[in-house]
Amino acid sequence: MSRKYFGTDGIRGEANKELTSELAMRLGYALGYRIIKKSKKKNPKIIMGSDTRVSGYMLRSALTAGLNSMGVSVDFIGVVPTPAVAFLTQNKGAEAGIMISASHNPAKDNGIKIFSSSGHKLSDDIEIELEELMENIESLKENMPNGDNVGTFKYREEFYYTYQDHLLSAIKGDFSNMKIILDAANGSAYRIAKQVFMRLKAEVVVINDTPNGTNINVKCGSTHPEILAKVVVGYEADLGLAYDGDADRLIAVDKFGNIIDGDKIIAILALDMKKKGILNDNKVVTTIMSNMGFENYLEKHDITLIRANVGDRYVTEKLKAHGLNLGGEQSGHILLFDHSTTGDGVLTSLKLVEAIRDSGISLDEKVKDIKDWPQKMINVSVHKDKKETWAKNEKIIKFIQSKEKEMGDTGRILVRTSGTEPIVRVMVEGREEKDVVRIVTEIAAIVEKELI
């Protein structure tokens, strides 16, 4: 069954246009109804957090109204990373967790991510069930409690410090004598990242940590690490660390200003964990987007790569299926299952710095032997109603097949749709950069012409 509201990472859209307060309230009703029916607790609670977008207040109020109306109470933590909600949902015994964020999307967008009581993202079946309930709100209202039996709303600032202590518990020793630049993307990491690194005695400089509700992700953070690279070089820092809007991603920068993506971060963590004897089965999970050069590097160190479809939920499924504890995406979503149930940018940054400290080898030296094949991706904006039709378009398919035949064993082509935006992503990887650039441009042009 196709889904009407949920995408690959919750519900997302432009605030007050696609993602309205009415829709959020209906979701609150539906989730509240399901919790009341399934829970054995007399006063069930959920954990809620938000990033720094101005529309978060509107959505928080609407979700809370729906949940409280069904008898479910809300413990609100304030502005926190998405993984804080996942962790605290499990840690505090809540029935579910809600994060209000559109992650790396522009500030005008917002989103709603829901976690189960175990701190994991909801299954497709539960999301479909919630959508069905959202379409039948009037019948749900018959089950509303009256008077003082409605749910409550409490601001639980102390839970923020529980999460902070959780992050610190994952690190042995401190980071004294290390100079680190942090880019908080004017988002969820604007407090927590600085605080944990300072508590670990690192010398810290923070940029983009003054959110105003509309500057989240604007030319900063993990999607725009160029300024961070300049600051790292200018301050002669050991490295830089960039988060996205809800701080579930990490991109790093070495002391020379080179950008280190998720593949390379995973490689560093994998070798560190293997050396310490804690990399389960000496295997990691990444996606079909990961570079072949990265895979070859892991093989040379006797680490096997397992590929999943794009999306951290699919990486999670593979990790669970194989009993593994490290995986992630080239974009910087990295899963450390020994410490978290979902991608956590701040946790990953702490573990990365710990690995660098323990080895005594700088970040640039750690990645120098990872020789990436040239890879280029073009995001093609298409008509929203045509996004999913690319795989059935005969002109597009035949053209891609001809280019695959042309590349043979010297490269690969990946075409996929964004789960949250009207975009078709075209990625080409190969040994020769000039061929990669030419072929990805040609395919993107065909996709745009056919689907605009």
Structure confidence by residue, pLDDT tens digits, 227-241? 999 999 999 999 999
Task: Assign residue 186 a region (left: φ > 0; alpha: ψ between -120 and 50; beta: otherwise).
Answer: left
What is the model's pLDDT at position 227? 95
Q: How far apart are CA 314 and CA 355, in angstroms?
A: 26
CATH of domain 375-451: 3.30.310.50
Q: How far apart are CA 68 and CA 86, in angstroms?
A: 21
What is the model's pLDDT at position 142? 82
Q: Are 253 and 234 in contact (CB under 8 A)?
A: no
Indicate if the pLDDT at residue 97 is higher than 80.
yes
Indicate if the pLDDT at residue 165 is higher than 80.
yes
Using one digit for the tens of pLDDT, what is the confidence trace for 372-386? Answer: 899 899 999 999 889
Residue 420 pLDDT grade (very low, low, confident, very high; cuts 50, 70, 90): confident
What is the model's pLDDT at position 2? 63
**What type of residue is 309?**
N
Indicate if the pLDDT at residue 306 is higher than 90.
yes
Q: Are 274 and 326 in contact (CB under 8 A)?
A: no
Average pLDDT (237-247) is: 98
Task: Return the number of other C-beta atoms located less than 10 Å from residue 380's C-beta.
Answer: 24
What is the model's pLDDT at position 59? 98
Give the active site residue among 103, 290, 331, 340: 103
Residue 282 pLDDT grade (very low, low, confident, very high; cuts 50, 70, 90): very high
Up-side HSE of residue 226: CA atoms within 13 Å toward CB?
Answer: 4
Q: Are 193 and 245 in contact (CB under 8 A)?
A: no
Report CA-CA distances (Å) from 102 to 29, 128, 151, 216: 21, 20, 26, 10
Average pLDDT (337-346) is: 97
Indicate if the pLDDT at residue 164 is higher than 90.
yes
Average pLDDT (234-251) is: 97
Q: Which CATH number fits domain 170-367: 3.90.1150.10, 2.130.10.10, 3.40.50.300, 3.40.120.10?
A: 3.40.120.10
What is the model's pLDDT at position 297? 94
- Token pair of 7 as six digits: 């995408």
- Token pair of 211 as six digits: 């959110």
Q: Which CATH number fits domain 11-160: 3.40.50.1000, 3.40.120.10, 3.40.50.300, 1.10.510.10?
A: 3.40.120.10
| 170-367 matches 11-160 in CATH topology | yes
Q: Are 82 and 49 in contact (CB under 8 A)?
A: yes
Active site residue 103: yes
**What type of residue is 85?**
V
Average pLDDT (241-254) is: 98
What is the model's pLDDT at position 311? 84
Provide, rounded to the nearest whole percent, the portion of the chain with pLDDT above 70. 100
Q: Are 241 and 260 in contact (CB under 8 A)?
A: no
Cα 420 to chain centroid, rounded:
13
**What type of residue is 311?**
G
Residue spans per domain, the chain: 11-160, 170-367, 375-451
- What's the mean pLDDT when you consider all of the chain? 95
Q: What is the pTM of this model?
A: 0.89
